């Protein structure tokens, strides 16, 4: 379908399949619009169908639409969904990608033909050089914390002078004055090298819009309609740039969920979402609370956890008339003697489910810190269960995938015609792919699973797809970070799991010091940890389970305060001594197996 031309069902074709509230959001095409979208309520669907409906009805010109989000993966998914709806020409980008494109385009215009400075490839490395120049010997961990502190200062739009007046605490062995000195040393060295960092991209783009009327006019002419996904994660700097892009217009739709604000440490400020009507008194407000993902048990726990929090939504299961009950009665809770015992229990339960017919890719194990993944990987490998760690090497960067794609590209030239599935299987076989996976988990099994994912993509392609078209699709997937599903259990931090979903989710480490993390000492920081648990729970379609251990590397532990908040039975199970098998309620919950959605 050509962009701007309505489909066979007329101008309302993009509205089909939407529920009442989703449709209400999709038809609100003019003026400011705020969509409060709870977990699993179909916010990406609403965003893309609203844009498609705007194009179909002639309200939007696709080339004048900017859809903004926060990750390359999310932007790629948005572009893919728009393509599936027959919409081409919309700019679906991250804030940084959009700003970088404008900086590269306008810099020669405002700087007499000079190209824009290069981007700093590694902020920590530049900071290390600045520290040496300032006669400071800093370890890598301190340098990383300094880099994060610099990023926060810049996205909060705080100058170094204003930062010094804040009286922020030191970092590691560095006092507050030392930290300020290194902020300044970093900026000086970067300027001497004529480089920009990630945050400078936004700052420079905003500066151009403010100081160069011709730049502002050109951007305002190019883009008229703005949509912002995950608006609860916007920083003051991103908000400022968004306002400059908008200018005097008010054609903006923001979509977000304050309960999923988990990046406050990086400058995210949910007040921009919660107080949207203060800046836009005539805004249309739509609430999406009908959850199309999770079971009643999961929704009940999620609603309980966020009850009474600012901006919290009451999630209603699809087909139900009222919010899910406020309890966690159906959530399995287990306590274990040690972290090792907890990891073994997780691995055994998943192995048992797989032996009973479940697929590995239906499971995710989520945790607060990356360091928790190694023990879980070891335990799952001992049970012969393959895993993928989110945040590790990207799928299309894996050597076995790169080799397969290169071979397929060559084969597409040699064999332009023929059956796609047979051609892909032949190439993979030549690379050592066997019909059945290796018996044990490990590097060989990981490589087998990666190549098998390519084979499944070929099997799912339309019958007329050529090998050349297939390799082009692989290249597009690599660019958009649209990775194929692998038949593996996913291990991920709670932060990395945001935006994803699985049938069954295990959340481990529900102990004080882990979740909430030990340095979350204030009320606001503790609330951020609660929101992390909420995000983890709402990743589950069918079942969620929680666990913790009585003893870790640093000694005895106490159960997380969030377990008590989730309800009487949950707190009782969490406080029981010994292993999971000693608690009848938790043992029965595990024995029941996966619960079907109600």
Q: Is 226 helix (H, G, I), strand (E, B) or coil?
A: strand
Please measure the distance between the N-terminal and C-terminal CA atoms of the chain and give it in whole angstroms: 38
* 44 labelled binding-site residue: yes
- Give the containing element (helix H, strand E) for 414: helix 399-414
The residues that bridge with 228 in the sheet, in sequence order, are: 68, 254
* 42 labelled binding-site residue: yes
Residue 271 CB burial class (10 angstroms; 0-12, 13-18, ≥19): middle
Residue 563 · residue 574 · CB < 8 Å? yes
Rounded Cα gap, residues 478 and 482, in angstroms: 6
Cα angle 219, 220, 221 (rounded to 5 degrees) comes to: 90
Q: Give every CB contact of residue 407 below 8 A, 6+ residues apart in sequence.
A: 427, 430, 431
* 39 labelled binding-site residue: yes
Rounded Cα gap, residues 453 and 438, in angstroms: 15
* 570 labelled binding-site residue: no
Q: Give every CB contact of residue 547 below 8 A, 6+ residues apart in sequence.
A: 333, 334, 335, 336, 342, 345, 346, 506, 507, 508, 509, 510, 580
Rounded Cα gap, residues 534 and 519, in angstroms: 19
* 469 labelled binding-site residue: no
Q: Where are the alpha helices (DSSP H) in 431-488?
A: 443-460, 467-480
Rounded Cα gap, residues 540 and 377, in angstroms: 21
* 41 labelled binding-site residue: yes
Rounded Cα gap, residues 270 and 312, in angstroms: 12
Q: Is 69 helix (H, G, I), strand (E, B) or coil?
A: strand
Could you tell me which of 346, 381, 382, 344 has the C-alpha nearest to residue 364? 346
Q: Where are the alpha helices (DSSP H) in 19-139?
A: 20-26, 43-56, 72-84, 95-110, 123-133
**Would you put residue 366 in left (φ > 0), alpha (ψ -120 to 50) or beta?**
beta
Provide φ and ψ at 309, rounded to 5°. Answer: -80, 150
Residue 113 CB burial class (10 angstroms; 0-12, 13-18, ≥19): exposed
Cα angle 411, 415, 417 (rounded to 5 degrees) comes to: 135
Encode 64-81: b = buried (16+ Cβ within 10 Å), e = exposed. bbbbbbbebbbbbbbbbb
CB atoms within 10 A of CB 39: 26
Residue 155 · residue 237 · CB < 8 Å? yes
* 190 labelled binding-site residue: no
Provide φ and ψ at 491, rounded to 5°. Answer: -110, 130
Q: Where are the beta strands (DSSP E) in 402-531?
A: 489-493, 502-507
What are the binding residues for ATP? 37-44
Which residues fall in the annotated binding site? 37-44
């Amino acid at each position: 379908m050509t962009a701007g031309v309505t489909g066979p069902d007329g101008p309302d074709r993009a509205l089909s399949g939407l529920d009442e509230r989703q449709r209400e959001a999709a038809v609100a095409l003019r003026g400011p619009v705020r969509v409060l979208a709870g977990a699993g309520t179909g916010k990406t669907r609403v965003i893309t169908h609203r844009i498609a409906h705007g194009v179909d009805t002639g309200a939007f010109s696709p080339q004048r639409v900017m859809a903004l989000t926060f990750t390359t993966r999310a932007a790629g998914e948005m572009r893919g969904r728009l393509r599936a709806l027959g919409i081409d020409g919309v700019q679906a980008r991250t804030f940084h990608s959009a700003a970088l494109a404008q900086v590269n385009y306008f810099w020669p215009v405002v700087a007499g033909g000079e190209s824009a400075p290069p981007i700093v490839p590694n902020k920590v490395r530049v900071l290390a050089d600045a520290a040496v120049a300032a006669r400071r010997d800093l370890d890598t961990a301190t340098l990383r914390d300094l880099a994060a502190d610099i990023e926060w200062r810049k996205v909060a739009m705080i100058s170094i002078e204003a930062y010094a007046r804040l009286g922020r605490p030191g970092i590691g062995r560095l006092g507050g004055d030392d930290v300020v000195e290194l902020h300044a040393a970093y900026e000086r060295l970067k300027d001497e090298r004529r480089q920009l960092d990630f945050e400078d991209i936004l700052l420079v783009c905003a500066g151009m819009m403010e100081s160069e009327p011709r730049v502002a006019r050109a951007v305002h002419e190019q883009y008229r309609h703005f949509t912002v996904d995950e608006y609860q994660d916007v920083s003051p700097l991103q908000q400022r740039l968004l306002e400059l892009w908008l200018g005097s217009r008010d054609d903006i739709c923001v979509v977000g969920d304050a309960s999923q604000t988990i990046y406050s440490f990086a400058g995210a400020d949910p007040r921009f979402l919660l107080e949207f009507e203060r800046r836009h008194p005539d805004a249309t407000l739509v609430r999406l609370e009908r959850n199309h993902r999770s079971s009643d048990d999961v929704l009940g726990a999620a609603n309980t956890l966020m009850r009474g929090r600012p901006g919290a939504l009451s999630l209603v299961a699809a087909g139900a008339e009222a919010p899910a009950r406020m309890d966690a009665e159906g959530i399995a809770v287990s306590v274990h003697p040690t972290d090792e015992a907890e990891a073994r229990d997780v691995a055994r339960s998943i192995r048992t489910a797989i032996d009973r017919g479940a697929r590995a890719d239906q499971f995710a194990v989520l945790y607060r810190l990356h360091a928790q993944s190694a023990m879980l990987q070891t335990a799952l490998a001992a049970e012969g269960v393959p895993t993928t760690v989110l945040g590790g090497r990207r799928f299309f960067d894996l050597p076995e995938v790169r080799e397969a794609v290169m071979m397929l590209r060559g084969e597409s030239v040699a064999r332009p015609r023929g059956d796609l599935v047979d051609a892909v299987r032949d190439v993979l076989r030549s690379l050592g792919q066997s019909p059945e996976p290796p018996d044990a988990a490990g590097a060989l099994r990981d490589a087998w699973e990666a190549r098998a994912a390519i084979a499944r993509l070929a099997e799912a392609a339309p019958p007329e797809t050529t090998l050349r078209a297939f390799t082009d699709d692989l290249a597009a997937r690599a660019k958009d970070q649209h990775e194929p599903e692998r038949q593996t259990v996913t291990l991920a931090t709670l932060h990395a799991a945001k935006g994803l979903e699985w049938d069954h989710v295990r959340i481990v480490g529900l102990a004080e010091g882990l979740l909430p993390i030990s340095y979350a000492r204030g009320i606001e920081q503790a609330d951020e940890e609660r929101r992390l648990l909420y995000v983890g729970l709402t990743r589950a379609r069918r079942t969620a389970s929680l666990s913790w251990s009585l003893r870790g590397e640093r000694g005895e532990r106490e159960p997380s305060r969030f377990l008590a908040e989730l309800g009487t039975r949950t707190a009782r199970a969490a406080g029981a001594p010994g292993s999971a098998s000693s608690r009848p309620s938790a043992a029965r919950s595990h024995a029941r197996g996966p619960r079907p959605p109600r």
